[in-house]
Each structure stands twice: as C-alpha cells, then as structure tokens.
C-alpha cells in the first residue's frame, strides 16, 4: 500500500492534501481498468479547466508537472516516475500556496533554476508572486502582493486580467528577466496588447526583482475584433472610441518564436471559438508588428488543429524531457459554478498534448494524445455522483457514477451514468469500466443524474432512483436477471416529490422499522426526510417531507449548499453510533453526530477538507476491515478515495491556523512537553489539552515575549496515548499532536 500521509481526526495546521479527520487517509491503490489498461491516476479527481507548468516537485533534479485546475482552484502536483509517467502526488499539495480563480503559471523569474509562481491577485487585480525557496523540501515565500506596473506620467496600474484571460509571462527582450504581455486595461481601450517590460536587469543588473513598466501600449499593432481571425490591424490610437459589442470575454496568450526568425510570436485563444490562432511578428520583439496574412487560423495546421470547446489556452512545457518545449492545450473558460447549470466548456478530453518534433525556435507541433492526463483518471465530465452497490449479484460492491453532463465537441451536454464492475475480490476491490450510459439516461435530457441504487421493490435485485437538477426523482425498475441489470423507466416524477433544485437521494432506515426511508439533499444545503409509509415490496412516501430541514441543517451561505447526504454507523470506535456525512458546494465534508433523535437538531462535530468543490460522498466497507472507505465525487468529474486507518472517536471541530509555527519537544515524551511557538504576538495565549475523544483535559495561560512563546505542559497524570494541544489567541488556533508513552 502506498500511503502518502495520515492525519488522525483533528485538522491540524499542516500543509497536506487535505485535512482529513476521523482517521481518514488518501488512498490510491485500488486499480481501475479502462479497455484492459490500468489507469495510472484513477483517483486524482478529474480535470475541467487545467493549466500546466513545469516544476521539480520532489526535488530529485528532474522536472515534474504542476496543474492548476481553475474549476475549484485545485492544486495538483504530478511526479515523473522512472517510466516517465506522471503520478499524482497529493502529499505535495500543501507545499503550494492557495490560488485565486484566474490563472497560475510557474516561471523562474530570478534565474536560480527553481520554478516560481505567478498567480492572479485578489479579484484578479495585480499579480501575486511566490518565490521558490526550496532546500530539502518544496516551499515558497511571497515575493510580491498585487504586483503593479509603472506608466509614463501617470499613476501605476495593477496588472488586470478579466476572469478568462491568460497573460504571456515570457522573456520578450532576451535579457534574462520575465516580461509580461497582457490584454489592455479599461482605460486603454480598445483592447490592444500591452507590453510591460521587466526592468530588473536595466536597474539592478540581476533578474531577481519585479520592477515593471509599460513600454508599448499596442504590441503587434493589432487588436481583437469579431472577424474570421479574431484579430484586425490597428493604428494604435488608443484614444479611439471603443466599439461595443466587438469584444469578447476572454483571451489567452502564449509566446514563442514560431518561424526561426529570432522574433517572438504568439499563440492565442479566443472565447468565441475553440481553435487556436498564431500571430506572426515581423518587426521587433518590443515594438512588434504582426502580419495577419501569415496567421495560422487553425493552429497547428501541420497536424490536427487544437479544438477544445470554448477558449483554448496553450502551455509550452518540455513534457518529454528532450530539451524542447512541447504544447499542452486546454479550455480556459470558467463558467457558472451553480450545481444545476451545464458548463459547456467541459469536454471528456480537456488536455491535448502536442509533441514538438522541431526546436524551440522552429517548433513543429504534432498531436500525441487527447486527454493526456485526464484519460488516466476516472473523469465523467462535470460533477461526479458516486454510488456503491452490487449490481451483478456476485457479492462485490460495484461503482456507478452520475454527472451533470459533458460536452462532446460540437454536440450537446446531457447527464448520464457510468458503471464500473468490481472485478477484484472480497477486501481487494478492482473496478473495470462496464458501461458509459446506463439505461440510456443521456437521451432523457437530464442536466443532473444523481444515482441511488437499492432494491426498492424487495424483489432481490437493485433498482435505480435518479435525482435531477430540478429537484425531482425518477424510478427505473430493474427488469433484468440477477447478474445483468436492465433498468427501465417505471415512474418519472417518483411519488411527485420535488425538493426545489438539485435532488441528491439516498435510502436509509432512519427510524429503524425495517423499511428503507428516503433522504434527499438539495441545492440549498437542506436535507429532506421521507418516511416509508408503505411496505418493503411496495414502498410509499408522502409528497410532503416528514422533515423538511432534517437536523436543522441549512448550509447554503456557509458551505455553498449542494447537500449530498451519507449515513453510516462505521465512523467511531464503537460502531453503533449513527453519523451523517454531508458533501457541500464549497467542498468540505461535514460530519454530524452521534445522532440520537432524527427529529432534533444535529451537531456538527467534525469535517473532512479535500481539494475540491461540490463534493458528493458515498462509503462502504470495501476492504473488509469493518470500516467505511469513502469515495468522494467533485465538480471536475473525478473521484478521490479515502481509506479509514483508525477507528477513533471523533470530536474536535476545525480550527484555523495562525501564521506562526507550533513545536513540541521531546515528542514522544513520558509526560512533560515543552511547547514553543515562534513568530508569536506578544500577548496572552491559552493552552488547551484534549484527549483523542475531544474532551478538554485542562487549560493554561502562557505569555509570549520578543516574538517567542515557550512553556511546559505536564500529562504525567494521564494514561499513555495520543493527545492534542491547542494554542489560542483571539480567533486563531494552532494545533499540535502529542504522544505520551
């Protein structure tokens, strides 16, 4: 088993892939098979709008790949293995700072051989730059916050890129520092290209500063326009009246010498088309002139032109380590995040790999593979709703995954359900792709298909209940034989139930009467409980919910709604307490319980934080260890698998980290620990000690002086085992784990 990290139950202030609680650990050893090939990264979570950059993630001297997934702001490091394949490395995610929505590009701005980070500032104003200061571990420090540039006889401006724009960060003048080409700002219409020069070499003789000045208000002497090419010649009168309606909402830029003339050219994408356009520069790197007659409007026309739905973006990286830059192409358009909407930018092959068979100054891009990363993952398009059930009657749990839909280029998005059959053994699951469109659901026009599988009519086989984006349910009866399902639509608008928007159903006997009750999460974060008032063979549910807001849960404002419920008894060390785990729009998986009264309010006792949004959750004892493994679906159409490695009673809720670092020594200890925090405020702090059940043992006060807090706590009176200490000041907490032995 390959296990990257373990976090017991408390979300400590650690830089990890996810702050897993309740004894969960990321797990990727369960095989997934497509067309007889075992996927390399099946549980990496899927891709919608990926951006690609090179970086040495594991510091072994070989360049790896970092993907910034715009949809959900996911940080995805991949390490190159000995076979040259890229393997997802979740343990490195927390080494990267949190990013904003717009873009993240890794470039070595200080010429030290390490990839630094350029990312959009808050609300897309300015650029945040993080310097790579790795030594024995990968780490960054902020070098610039909301970077601006100077103008002649005018105030400085923030670099501003609208939400779907992608600037070119490149050494345009060849002096070793990184310049920036970006779309024109609001006061410099009509949307020309601005060349912003880095003056680090000119001012300081080095490349390790970020001093920017606007030197060309109309690079290339072209502007974007609604035309065949998307670009038109322009006289560079930036004071001319802007023609409204002649500008689109997104532009992507990448720079490279495309024809071996020593001049920098551009590869551009446009929000009105799915193809790339090259702009050939014929004059100068700084004072450029683009000859549109030389443009390749179906780039690269020497091979298969790149075609991705809605606003393609280019990333020039050496993917095969042959010394020349290859080309990755993906859609940059970020559409609505509403759970009931269809994102028309989503394609099942969002990452096209073009190998460069030429040189860096005279490239020849040839299509190598569509879906270079995504084809090695479970990826069902937009959103993933997993369900576990034995649909072929062999005693092993199989996997079905619903979605919001995906778009085949030039086609129409429609939701569907994908089936994976478990071809492993008891305790050792292995999933193989079985069917891509269960029950032909894609033909029904649903914009969400959330599957719930159970023997609804108690006839010995599993039936299918599908929740849709409009808040309704649809019942598909299984008319097949025991080993081969055949789902037929039996009752649309099942029981006339309507929860408003985004129906996410599950069955569970909550009142312990031997009948399956119906529980439905909705778009607003509510959970609706429908008691089964029928029989096991003929279940019946009132049109009106027995409980409209079960547990008093309404998490729309705090957690983004999109409630997906999952009930389990296999969470704590006892195995008899009932818990609710709830997927949410913002990604956190909330844990409520123990639940003793289904008509009362539920207490949120913990959460699981993963690198995802719009999480959907299902679980079962896949490994035969009396513990629930979890499968987490998310907005980008893929899945994470979490393995429960400890049955520990949960209890402590999440806390935010302060900017300091909490240390303890010796640790383990026979009872006495020294607690130290550097970079502390000179204030009074409170130390709280907890056992593994979340029970507070005692509190003590401690003062910080000269930015350092150092004090001792004594656990000698308590049994050997695991403990936690929080250091609290105002609204912030640091946490550390202690082992007494």
User: What CA–CA distance (Å, rounded) separates 278 from 294?
Assistant: 8
- Residue 409 C-alpha from the chain's centroid: 23
* Averaged pLDDT, 642-661: 50
Q: Could you tell me the CA-to-CA distances from 452 to 391, 462, 522, 531 in Å, in that order? A: 12, 10, 14, 17
Label residue 495 exposed, middle or buried (CB < 10 Å: 0-12, 13-18, 19+): middle
- pLDDT value of position 684: 85
User: What CA–CA distance (Å, rounded) separates 93 from 114?
Assistant: 17
* Averaged pLDDT, 363-384: 94
CA-wise closest residue to 723 among 3, 8, 5, 4 = 8
Please give the radius of gyration of the chain, using alpha carbons only, rounded to the nearest integer: 28
Express each pLDDT in 391-412 by its tens digit.
999 999 999 999 987 654 445 5
The DSSP line for 227-268 is SSSSEEE----TTSPP-TTS--S-EEEEEE-SSSSS--EEEE
Least confident of 116-125, 183-192, 292-301, 527-536: 183-192
User: What CA–CA distance (Å, rounded) separates 525 from 155?
Assistant: 46
Among residues of the chain, what percentage have pLDDT more than 90?
A: 61
DSSP letter at 48 equals S
Q: Could you tell me the CA-to-CA distances from 211 to 150, 153, 178, 208, 285 in Å, in that order? A: 8, 17, 10, 10, 19
pLDDT-derived band of residue 4, with 50, 70 and 90 as boundaries? very low
| Peptide linkage before 640 cis (omega within 30 of 0) | no
Q: Above 70 in pLDDT, residue 20?
A: no
* Averaged pLDDT, 646-669: 56
- pLDDT value of position 244: 38
Query: CA torsion 339→345→346→349, rounded to 10°?
Result: -170
Do 225 and 231 form a contact (C-beta atoms < 8 A)?
Answer: yes
- pLDDT value of position 660: 45
User: What CA–CA distance (Å, rounded) separates 627 from 621?
Assistant: 5
pLDDT-derived band of residue 347, with 50, 70 and 90 as boundaries? low
Which one of 34-43, 327-336, 592-601 scores highest in mean pLDDT? 34-43
Least confident of 71-80, 622-631, 644-653, 683-692: 644-653
- Beta strands 431-435 and 32-34 are parallel
Residues 6+ apart with CB under 8 A from 96: 66, 75, 77, 117, 140
Q: Could you tell me the CA-to-CA distances from 387 to 237, 507, 532 in Å, in that order? A: 59, 11, 21
Do 525 and 553 form a contact (C-beta atoms < 8 A)?
Answer: yes
pLDDT-derived band of residue 348, with 50, 70 and 90 as boundaries? low
Among residues of the chain, what percentage have pLDDT more than 70?
A: 87
- Strands of 522-588, DSSP E: 527-530, 564-568, 579-583
User: What CA–CA distance (Å, rounded) separates 668 from 737?
Assistant: 10
- pLDDT value of position 695: 64
Which position has the higher pLDDT, 3 or 469?
469
User: What CA–CA distance (Å, rounded) separates 616 from 606?
Assistant: 17
User: What CA–CA distance (Å, rounded) separates 413 from 253?
Assistant: 28
Q: Which two tokens stand for residue 152?
A: 């002649």
* Averaged pLDDT, 469-478: 96
User: What CA–CA distance (Å, rounded) separates 584 from 564?
Assistant: 7
CA-wise closest residue to 725 among 1, 3, 10, 8 = 10
pTM listed for this prediction: 0.83
Express each pLDDT in 70-110 by its tens digit.
988 999 999 999 999 999 998 899 899 988 878 999 999 99
CA-wise closest residue to 114 among 64, 65, 55, 159 = 55
Mean pLDDT of the chain: 86
pLDDT-derived band of residue 146, with 50, 70 and 90 as boundaries? confident
- pLDDT value of position 238: 58
Least confident of 152-156, 201-205, 312-316: 152-156
- pLDDT value of position 15: 28
CA-wise closest residue to 726 among 679, 665, 675, 681 = 675
- pLDDT value of position 646: 59
Give the per-residue SS3 of 2-14. CCCCCCCCCCCCC
Least confident of 17-26, 250-259, 353-362, 589-598: 17-26
- pLDDT value of position 378: 96
Express each pLDDT in 438-458 by its tens digit.
999 999 989 899 999 999 999
């Amino acid at each position: 088993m390959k296990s990257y990290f373990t976090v017991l139950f408390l979300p400590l202030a650690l830089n990890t892939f996810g702050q897993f609680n309740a004894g969960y650990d990321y797990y990727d050893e369960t095989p997934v098979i497509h067309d007889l090939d075992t996927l390399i990264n099946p549980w990496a979570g899927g891709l919608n709008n990926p951006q690609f950059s090179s970086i040495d993630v594991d510091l072994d001297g070989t360049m790896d790949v970092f993907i910034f997934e715009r949809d959900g702001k996911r940080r995805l490091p991949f390490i190159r293995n000995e076979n040259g394949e890229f393997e997802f490395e979740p343990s490195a995610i927390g080494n990267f700072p949190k990013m904003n929505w717009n873009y993240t590009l890794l470039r070595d701005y200080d010429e030290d051989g390490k990839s630094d980070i350029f990312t959009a500032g808050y609300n897309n104003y300015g650029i945040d730059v993080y310097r790579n200061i790795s030594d024995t571990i990968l780490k960054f420090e902020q070098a610039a916050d909301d970077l601006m540039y100077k103008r002649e006889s005018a105030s400085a401006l923030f670099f501003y890129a609208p939400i779907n724009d992608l600037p070119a960060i490149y050494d345009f003048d060849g002096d070793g520092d990184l310049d920036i080409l970006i779309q024109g700002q609001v006061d410099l219409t009509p949307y020309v290209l601005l060349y912003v020069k880095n003056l680090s070499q000119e001012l300081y003789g080095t490349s390790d500063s970020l001093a920017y000045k606007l030197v060309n208000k109309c690079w290339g002497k072209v502007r974007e326009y609604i035309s065949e090419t998307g670009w038109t010649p322009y006289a560079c009168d930036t004071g001319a009246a802007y023609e409204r309606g002649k500008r689109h909402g997104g532009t992507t830029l990448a720079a490279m010498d495309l024809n071996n003339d020593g001049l920098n050219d551009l590869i551009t994408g446009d929000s009105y088309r799915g193809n790339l356009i090259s702009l050939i520069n014929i004059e100068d790197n700084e004072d450029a002139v683009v000859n549109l007659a030389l443009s390749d409007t179906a780039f690269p026309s020497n091979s298969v032109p790149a075609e991705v739905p809605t606003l393609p973006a280019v990333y020039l990286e050496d993917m095969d380590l042959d010394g020349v830059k290859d080309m990755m192409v993906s859609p940059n358009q970020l559409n609505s995040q509403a759970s009931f909407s269809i994102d028309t930018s989503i394609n099942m092959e969002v990452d096209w790999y073009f190998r460069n068979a030429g040189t860096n100054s005279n490239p020849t891009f040839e299509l190598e593979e569509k879906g270079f990363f995504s084809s090695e993952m479970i990826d069902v398009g937009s959103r993933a709703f997993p369900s576990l059930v034995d649909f072929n009657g062999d005693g092993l749990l199989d996997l079905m995954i619903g979605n919001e839909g995906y778009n085949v280029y030039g086609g129409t998005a429609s939701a569907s359900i994908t089936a994976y059959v478990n071809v492993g053994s008891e305790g050792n699951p292995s999933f193989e792709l079985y069917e891509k469109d269960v029950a032909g659901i894609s033909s029904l026009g649903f914009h969400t298909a959330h599957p719930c599988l159970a023997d609804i009519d108690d006839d010995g086989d599993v039936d299918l209940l599908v929740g849709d984006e409009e808040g309704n349910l649809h019942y598909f009866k299984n008319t097949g034989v025991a080993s081969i399902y055949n789902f037929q639509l039996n009752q649309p608008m099942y029981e006339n139930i309507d929860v408003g928007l985004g129906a996410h159903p599950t069955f569970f006997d909550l009142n312990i009467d031997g009948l399956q009750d119906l529980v439905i999460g909705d778009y607003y974060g509510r959970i609706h409980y429908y008691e089964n008032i029928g029989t096991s063979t003929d279940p019946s549910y009132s049109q009106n919910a027995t409980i409209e807001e079960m547990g008093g849960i309404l998490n729309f404002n705090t957690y983004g709604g999109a409630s997906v419920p999952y009930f389990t008894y296999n969470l704590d060390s006892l195995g008899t307490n009932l818990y609710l785990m709830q997927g949410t729009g913002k990604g956190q998986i909330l844990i409520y319980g123990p639940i003793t009264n289904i008509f009362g309010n539920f207490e949120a006792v913990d959460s699981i934080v993963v690198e995802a949004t719009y999480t959907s959750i299902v679980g079962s004892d896949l490994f035969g260890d009396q513990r629930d493994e979890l499968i987490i679906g998310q907005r980008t159409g893929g899945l994470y698998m979490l393995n429960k490695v400890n049955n520990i009673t949960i209890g402590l809720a999440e806390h935010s980290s302060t900017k300091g670092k909490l240390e303890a020594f010796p640790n383990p200890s026979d009872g006495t620990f020294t607690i130290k925090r550097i970079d502390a405020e000179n204030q009074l702090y409170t130390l709280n000690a907890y056992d593994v059940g979340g029970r507070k043992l005692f509190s003590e006060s401690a003062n910080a002086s000269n930015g350092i807090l150092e004090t001792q706590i004594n656990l000698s009176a308590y049994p050997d085992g695991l403990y936690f200490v929080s250091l609290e000041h105002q609204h912030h907490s640091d946490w550390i784990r202690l082992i007494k032995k």
